[in-house]
Amino acid sequence: MRSYKKILLLVILTMTLSACGNAAKRKVVIVGSEPLQSAQDNPSNTEEKNAEPSRGDTADQPEELAALSYDATPLEPDVNDDPKQLLGIDTKALEALLGKPSLVRKENPAVIWQYNAESCVLDLVLYDSVTSYVEARDEQVRPMDNRKCLRRLLLSKQ
């Protein structure tokens, strides 16, 4: 019974090692990781390639290529979407940055400038022709992030 266990262990060990050996024989080349060399540039490389077929089954196996990929989606333009930049600036600077407002509403002593962007509305409250408050809302008149709405507005102006 003891010899049966030894034989079984030896068979399992042999199968495991042969599987590792087959994996080590395959060539994996990462495309773009190494410059291609011609046989004339590296004579020792030619000798190695000539010696490979004598190893047995390695010459029969094709080279595996691992392709490197990257995300090629275009990046959005970089814009300063910090709503704090709007606070404390006058009407001329505001028009230079955002253009003419879609709507101007006077509620003494304040004036509200309203800008429409994609899926949002940005309200700027001005006192004495200087921006004092910024508020954004979505299409359903729910409050939303000021930064997101300002970003959409600035990107639509480009």
The helix/strand/coil state of 13 is helix
The string of pLDDT tens digits covering residues 103-132 is: 999 999 999 999 998 899 999 999 999 999
pTM across the whole model = 0.52
What pLDDT is recorded for position 21?
Answer: 61
Residue tagged 């404390």 (tokens): 88
Closest CA to 61 of 35, 33, 27: 27
What pLDDT is recorded for position 14?
Answer: 79
